[in-house]
Amino acid sequence: MEKYEEKRKYPRIIVDYPATLLFSGNQEAEVLIHDICPGGIQVRCDMKTAQMLKTEKGKSAHDFGTIFILSQDGEQIKITVRCRLVYMVKIDEAAFAAGMQFTGMDNANRKILKRFIESSMEPL
């Protein structure tokens, strides 16, 4: 995983938030967003979801929906974005880390994400 850390353009905010991945054929999978940055997320998932991600990557429309909640100013904000799988590594016998790049996000969600990241980086 260290080689992926070296390639990162942006600082990552550790969040460990639940998320839902939306695949073709109305399939869904629950994952845990481990970290987030302006360009994407890293999720943790089980083997079944990892296989779904790999299958989805091989399709011509290789991006998929991702839904998660961010807390901002005491408010829970639902974020819906399009992502594509960039990498996947096995972290133990039953768990995988998957790096995903945002491929589609509207301006309102982009502003919310930017504010969330900026406020998370402020010293306490």
Q: How far apart are the C-alpha atoms of 112 and 78, rounded to whole Å?
A: 10
Give pLDDT tens digits for 52-81.
888 766 554 568 899 999 988 889 999 999
Q: Tokens 């005491």 identify what position?
A: 74
Condensed to tens digits (0 to 9), the pLDDT of residues 84-100 reads 999 999 999 999 999 99
Number of domains in the chain: 1
pLDDT digits (tens, 9 = 90+) for 20-58: 999 888 899 999 999 999 999 999 999 999 988 887 665
Distance CA 113, CA 115 (A): 5
Residue 60 pLDDT: 44
pTM: 0.84
In this prediction, residue 10 has a pLDDT band, given cuts at 50, 70 and 90, of low
Domain containing residue 29: 2-119
DSSP for 43-85, written as a single string: EEE-HHHHHHHHHHHTSSS-EEEEEEEEEETTEEEEEEEEEEE
Assigned domain for 111 exists: yes
Q: What is the reported pLDDT for 123? A: 67
- Position 124 in a domain: no
Give the containing element (helix H, strand E) for 27. Answer: none
